[in-house]
Chains A and B, each alone.
Chain A
Amino acid sequence: MKRWSLVIIFLFIIFACSGCKLKSAQLKEFTDEKFLMDTLIQVTVYSDDEQKGKEALDKAFAEFERINNLTDRFPKDGKNTAVFSDVIRINENAGIKPVQVSTDTLNIVQRSLYYAQLSGGSFDITIGPIMDLWGFGKNEQHVPSDEQIQKTLSLVDYRKVIVDPDNGTVYLQKPGMSLDFGGVAKGYATEEAAKVLRELGIKHALINAGGNVYALGTKPDGSLWRVGVRDPRNENGIIAVLSVKDTSVVTSGDYERYFEERGVRYSHLIDPSTGKQARDLMQTTVVTESSTDADILNKPLFVLGHQRGMSFAESLQGVGAIFVGADKQVTFTGNLTNQLKFTGDGDYQIIHQK
């Protein structure tokens, strides 16, 4: 008799446990996408409450819209963006006067200048005039003459950006200078959107802002998010998979915004010191907690190239990086070893460091 009741208790436990497995199913997936910041933004959140899930999505997209309005460099058709855009106002007042800006713009400028200094100018938010010369941003791309490049380069210098944090102003010292937040705005907006999701109590979410990924928490079942890294020469391929939580994965490549002239590829990844394309790498990926940092850091790593980029990445705390060289050699920082798996697709040569 006693044995029977034991068996029954045992069965009850199994029964209860089989029910447990269903618990994670109570979290529902809410997903939406919008075209903002010249790219496609996809947000997925998990919540047990429909209203809360939808509210979280709306508020996340509102952050992208807000940062977009602050950082737009060109007036949009039919919209008086100059009223909102700090960047347009800063650029219009270059060489004239300091401009009062929002806390967000101040944050972006300060973070950007920090990395400009740290990387010896291989990342520079005053690249605006060079981007305009190449026609990026306005879809009128063409190869400029060396003379034009040299002349325009005199307008590119992050040391001529004067920030006054007490008065909340930004000033460009030379007329004709202009800021371009193309290398940081998406990352900053992603970080702000993730912050809002956390404040709303969201524990699991995935943001993909035109390839800039932020994984909030874990997947609903407690496992790590798996983020694929695109094959730089095959739109359909994935060269590696990163397992992450509470981390950004941001990739830059010469295939993103580029044009071809006489069979040569010209990407938007331009070295601020030469005004021309950096060509040592075809792709970089940065893995770090802050989306802003991840977005920014891709640019100096790409510009510095395989070896100097690797040294720079290794000098930074909590930053992982993957480099795909133009010669198809792939290297990565040692701190990624446990979370990085290469798929073996494409004819890349993976070089494992000791």
Chain B
Amino acid sequence: MKNLNYYILASLLLLVLISFGVSHLVQRQMTEGDLRLEIYTDGQLYRKISLSEASNEEIKVPNKDGHYNVVEIEKGRARIKESDCPNQMCVKTGWISQPGQIAVCVPNKFNIVIKGKSNKVDTISY
């Protein structure tokens, strides 16, 4: 009888540990996650790139009207380097590196955004 109690107790303890472990892991996965860059053209996801391990790269993205934007990527940051749009607001935005930050080219319907769990903010009012 006493032995049985020990077994029950031990297995319960184990269950508790496992359940804590699992819930902790799941939450960690939900809250952390890598810093990544998402490139959108006309509101559609064009490419997803992990910024934490990115190497220097330039990507020219044409849109369906024949216009284009050039994205420059470095480790941990990105920018719209070049655009054939009239106002160049997207290029003037410069480098972005924090989750939630965004560079938008309205004339070419193009944007890049940094995703990942921010310890600072959920969104930015601008």
Which A residues fall within an 8 A CB radius of B? Answer: 4, 7-8, 11-12, 14-15, 18-19, 21-22, 25, 32-35, 38-40, 42, 139, 206, 208, 210-213, 215, 219, 225-230, 235-236, 238, 241-242, 249-251, 253, 256, 259, 285, 343
Contacts and interface: CB of A to CB of B under 8 A. Distances in A.
A78 to B, nearest CB: 12
Given A35-B42, A211-B124, A227-B125, A7 B96 contact: no
Interface string B14-54: 01100110010011001000000000101100000000000
B106 A230 contact: no
Interface residues of B, number: 41
B26 A206 contact: no
A38 B89 CA distance: 13
20 contacts: A7-B9, A8-B12, A21-B27, A25-B30, A33-B111, A34-B43, A35-B42, A42-B123, A139-B107, A206-B123, A208-B123, A212-B125, A213-B123, A213-B125, A226-B121, A227-B121, A229-B125, A235-B103, A236-B98, A241-B120
B16 A22 contact: no
Contact of A251 (B43, B94, B122, B125): B125
B5 interface: yes
Given A206-B123, A236-B95, 18 more contacts: A11-B13, A15-B15, A18-B19, A25-B26, A32-B43, A39-B104, A208-B123, A210-B104, A212-B125, A219-B122, A228-B123, A229-B124, A236-B94, A236-B96, A236-B101, A238-B121, A249-B125, A251-B126
Contacts of A32: 43
Contact of B93 (A7, A39, A139, A235): A235
Q: Helix, strand, loop or mixed for chain B's interface?
A: mixed
Contacts of A219: 122
Given A7-B9, A139-B86, A228 B125 contact: yes
B126 A253 contact: yes
**A-B residue pairs, 10 tightest by C-beta:** A228-B121, A211-B126, A230-B126, A228-B124, A251-B125, A34-B43, A35-B109, A18-B19, A249-B125, A226-B121
Nearest to A223: B122
B68 to A, nearest CB: 16
Contacts of B55: none
Contact of B123 (A11, A22, A227, A235): A227
B125 A226 contact: no
A40 B106 contact: yes
A19 B126 contact: no
A12 B123 contact: no
B122 to A, nearest CB: 5
A33 B111 CA distance: 10
Contacts of A225: 122-123
A12 B13 CA distance: 9
A215 B106 CA distance: 24
B51 to A, nearest CB: 14
| Best-surrounded residue of B27, B95, B96 (most CB of chain A within 10 A) | B27
